[in-house]
A and B are shown apart, each in its own frame.
Chain A
Amino acid sequence: MTSHDIILLGKKIIIGIVLAVVPFLIFFFGLKFIQHI
């Protein structure tokens, strides 16, 4: 693995985390909000 590959991998992991965390936050706060209606 080269340093370029490690940077590539890092960028890929960040995109993966964003893809999981953003919908999670929508669901979490959305469901919490519904409980307070």
Chain B
Amino acid sequence: MPKRSVRPTRVPLRPETAQKILRDGTISLFLYALPLLLMGAWLYITGDKPWLRPPVKPSIPVLKTVFENLSSWGLPVLTLGVGVAEFLLGLYDKRWTRNEKILDLVCFFGSKVIIRPTVVYFTLWLLPVLLPGLKGVFAWIPLGWGFLIIAVADDLTQYWYHRLHHQVPFLWRFHRTHHSAPYMGMAMASRQNIIYTIFFSQIYLTAAMTYLGLGYAALLVTGVKSLITLAAHSSIAWDKPLYSRRWLHPLAWVLERLISTPATHHAHHAASNDDGVGHYKGNFGNMFFIWDVLFGTGIITRRYPKAYGLEYYQGEEWYAQFLWPIFKSRKKGSELSAGGPEVSDEVTDEAPPKKYLYDLQ
């Protein structure tokens, strides 16, 4: 039997935020359809009907090996390798306390132990029941088009999943754990509350598309996306040289609008918006940053915040951060405590400036 309800201090969804969500959500329906429209136009112009031919498995043995391994042992090994390098370089400083270490490690291994079997179960057992007779029906889609379709499907869905957890007050506490780390790095890249991780919408969407025959494209997208998001979370700022060398500025201009970079994603993890760099109520993109550019939720400054995490962080117990709302924090007034506020921070989704900040310098 559930215990008697202790209602937390509720924060209503602001009407202007709801309006923006509705507007951008409607635009997203078109964005989801865009790769299909492009592929349909291409096939119509060329007169090609690939579904009439027997499906051809793409012959990319090298890529296949790389990305298959990236999805199994490759990525965890890469994450650990970069994490060790960050640790040796002293990039965590003294902020990686015992509580933070346990939380980061539990989240890292927990996601591997819980998420993978859940997705495998969903793909192998549940999908044939939910979608009988549809296995491999879209295996005819050429790899390039499949890549574009999965990239948009997966990343735009994750953008929305992420954005809603920041903008809808009752969802924030499921995502708070990812933002409580007072540092950036590999150690916190998979730091998430268990409920947030289990209900990641995009992994089920991608699993369903794999079942329909887009497995190779899904494998490629997963590999590329993992590399980009891990690099964006790393405390090793790979993008810095792009801003300091003038001849690289055109490349930087394109890259920072297309994909998440350490500068834009670190701004999302900033402790404060006051320095003109931090933008923790925006920059929601994971693999692609273009969604933030299109919806006006992004800021590009080419600078890095001075401090990370939450200004009101109380160092809540690792089990409360990992397992909230199953376990609550004992810290008085914490968002994760029984009856705690839904959102401690008064700042909501303030509109970013019309121009990107570095353009004004």
Residues of A within 8 A of B4 (CB): 2-3
Q: Quick check: is B153 within 8 A (CB to CB) of the other chain? A: yes
A23 touching B153, Cβ below 8 Å: yes
What separation, in Å, do the CA atoms of A12 and B172 have in the docked complex? 11
Contact status A4-B5, CB under 8 Å: yes
Q: B338 contacts which chain A residues (CB < 8 A)?
A: 2
Within 8 A of A (CB), among B121-176: 138, 141, 149, 153, 156-157, 160-161, 164, 168, 170-171, 174
* Interchain nearest-CB distance for B271 vs A (Å): 26
| B209 pairs with A27, CB closer than 8 A | yes
Per DSSP, are chain A's interface residues mostly helix, strand or loop, or mixed?
A: helix
10 A-B pairs whose Cβ atoms sit less than 8 Å apart in the complex:
A1-B326, A2-B2, A2-B5, A16-B199, A19-B202, A22-B32, A26-B36, A27-B32, A27-B209, A28-B212
What residues of chain A lie closer than 8 Å to B160, measured between beta carbons?
Answer: 19
A2 touching B6 in the complex, CB below 8 Å, given contacts A16-B201, A20-B202, A26-B29:
yes
A20 touches B164 (CB 8 A): no
CA–CA, A36 and B4, complex, Å: 56
Give the residues in chain A near B33, CB-CB below 8 Å.
26, 30
B237 contacts partner chain A, Cβ-Cβ < 8 Å: no
Quick check: B171 and A12 within 8 Å, CB to CB? Answer: yes
- Which A8-35 residues sit within 8 Å CB-CB of chain B? 8-9, 11-13, 15-17, 19-20, 22-24, 26-28, 30-31, 33-35
Which residues of chain B come closer than 8 Å to A11, judged between CB atoms? 170
**Which of A2, A22, A30, A33 is the most central at the interface, judged by chain B CB atoms within 10 Å of its CB?**
A2
Min distance, Cβ A13 to any Cβ of chain B, angstroms? 6
Chain B residues closer than 8 Å to A15, beta-carbon distance: 164, 168, 171
List, in ascending order, chain A residues with CB within 8 A of B5's CB.
Answer: 2-4
Given A2-B5, A24-B205, A37-B40 contact (CB < 8 Å): yes
Kindly list chain B residues whose C-beta atoms are within 8 Å of the C-beta of A13.
199
Q: Distance (Å) between the CB of A23 and the closest chain B CB?
A: 5
- Measured between alpha carbons, how far is A28 from B141 in the docked complex, in Å? 12
Contacts of A34 in B (CB 8 A): 36, 39-40, 43
Contacts of B6 in A (CB 8 A): 2, 4
Size of interface on A: residues with Cβ below 8 Å to B: 28
Is the CB–CB distance between A30 and B36 below 8 Å? yes
Whole-angstrom distance between the alpha carbons of A8 and B199 in the complex?
A: 13
Q: List the B side residues contacting A22 at CB < 8 Å.
A: 29, 32
In the assembled complex, B189 has its CB within 8 A of some CB on chain A: no
Q: Does B204 contact A (CB under 8 A)?
A: yes
Is there contact, CB below 8 Å, between B205 and A20? yes
B245 within 8 A of A: no
User: Closest CB-CB distance, B300 to chain A, in whole Å?
Assistant: 26
Shortest Cβ distance from residue A35 to the other chain B in the assembled complex, whole angstroms: 5
Instruction: Tell me the nearest residue of chain A to B168, going by C-beta.
Output: A15
**With A3-B5, A34-B39 as contacts: A27 and B149 at CB distance below 8 Å:** yes
> Could you tell me if B43 and A12 are in contact, using CB atoms closer than 8 angstroms?
no
Chain A residues, CB < 8 A from B36: 26-27, 30-31, 34
List 19 extra interface pairs beyond A20-B205, A34-B39, CB under 8 A.
A1-B3, A2-B325, A3-B5, A4-B5, A5-B325, A6-B2, A8-B170, A12-B199, A15-B164, A16-B161, A17-B201, A19-B161, A19-B201, A20-B204, A26-B32, A27-B149, A31-B141, A37-B43, A37-B44
